[in-house]
Structure 1
Amino acid sequence: MPTEKNQLLEEFNQWVLFVQSLNNQSDEIWDLCLDEGKWSIREVVSHIMKWDKYFLEEAINKISTKSTVAVKHIDFDEFNNKAKIYGKTTSIIEISEKAIFYRVQICNQIRSLTDEQYMGTYVDGDGNPFLVTQYLKDFIEHDQHHINQIKNIRSKKEG
């Protein structure tokens, strides 16, 4: 499965490249809302960064060190609201640096997993199965959803 692993990691790393492409954008662009009453770009980047941090600390690090996976079903609304507040109150540079840092850490740790670790089925903190491959697939889809939203609002602003 190393080929699938490499392919998934390449797709998962697209978020890093996308955030890097935002680095030369003005505060005005980062503060654009995706739609009326929706989150700004900075809040979306913060949202993904906070989820990356959570999964790095509670799942990927644990798998890498052969510890128990601690990911649990948490209150998504509360978690996302805290990420939104963080995004509003933190500098764009810090948000961007942390978004890149956590995603690179996840990629590096997954890349270093043995095939057995990578393909393993783990039990999360709620007793549900956790698979690295499914995690990557789910978040690649999640990333693409937000990347497309951001690209759309940027093209409307520029067009």
Structure 2
Amino acid sequence: MSKSKQELIDAMMAWPKQAEEWKQVPENKWHRPLGPGKWTAAEAVAHLLKWDRYFLERAVRPVAEQGPITLEHTDFDSFNKEAAVFGASTPPEQLLDDAIAVRNEILSLLGQQPDRLFQPEQAYLDGAGHRFDVEEYMTDFISHDHHHMDQIRASFAQE
């Protein structure tokens, strides 16, 4: 295991901590594109929220409850477009509250799991036989979080 369970949880906690701070950002900054051809900050938050909810419901909660993992091949483009539409039509404070709540539930469930769950040899299989590795999932999401948080921070820094 390259990082401990607690190090992974702490790193994933960066997203809800940042989201909490962004509740003070004025409404007008939420609906401008992060760059040419990019989502708005609200759409990016919805994207993070929707992926967290997907993995919570289909992998994290089932692992915590020792049930079957129900991940399935997802059309990323369609999933992300639906998240963007949701983000464009939902107030930023609600998006942030929901994103914080879902991520905190993920972290709470993972925090209750034994350390062995975070070792690569402890991978699970979904119904289609695809591997789900908790450490890999967390490492990927930490990187994904930071990518979008950096984009949003840069946008909010502009006047």
Structure 2 length-normalised TM: 0.93
CA distance in 2, matches of 1:8, 1:78: 29
Q: Is the CA contact (8 Å cut-off) linking 2:47 and 2:80 kept in structure 1? A: yes
**2:136 aligned partner:** 134
**2:6 aligned partner:** 6
Moved more, 112-121 or 133-142: 112-121
CA distance in 1, matches of 2:32, 2:57: 30
**2:79 aligned partner:** 79
Q: Superposed, which structure 2 residues align to 1:5-154 within 5 Å?
A: 5-119=5-119, 120-154=122-156
Q: Is the CA contact (8 Å cut-off) linking 2:43 and 2:88 kept in structure 1? A: yes
Paired residues in the alignment total 156
CA distance in 2, matches of 1:114, 1:73: 28
Q: CA deviation at 1:107?
A: 0.3
Q: Is the CA contact (8 Å cut-off) linking 2:58 and 2:69 kept in structure 1? A: yes
CA distance in 2, matches of 1:128, 1:49: 23
Residue 50 of structure 2 aligns to which amino acid in structure 1? K
Q: Is the CA contact (8 Å cut-off) linking 1:63 and 1:117 kept in structure 2? A: no
Unaligned runs of 5+ in 2: none
Structure 1 length-normalised TM: 0.93
Q: CA deviation at 1:118?
A: 3.6
Q: Is the CA contact (8 Å cut-off) linking 2:52 and 2:102 kept in structure 1? A: yes
Q: Is the CA contact (8 Å cut-off) linking 2:30 and 2:41 kept in structure 1? A: yes
Q: Is the CA contact (8 Å cut-off) linking 1:73 and 1:126 kept in structure 2? A: no
Q: CA deviation at 1:126?
A: 2.8
Unaligned runs of 5+ in 1: none
Q: Between the two proteins, what is the percent identity of the paired residues?
A: 33
CA distance in 2, matches of 1:111, 1:147: 23
Residue 151 of structure 1 aligns to which amino acid in structure 2? R
Q: CA deviation at 1:145?
A: 0.6
Residues 52-71 of structure 1 deviation map (CA, whole Å, 9 limit, x = unaligned): 00000000000001001111
Q: Is the CA contact (8 Å cut-off) linking 2:30 and 2:40 kept in structure 1? A: yes
Q: What's the Cα RMSD here?
A: 1.3
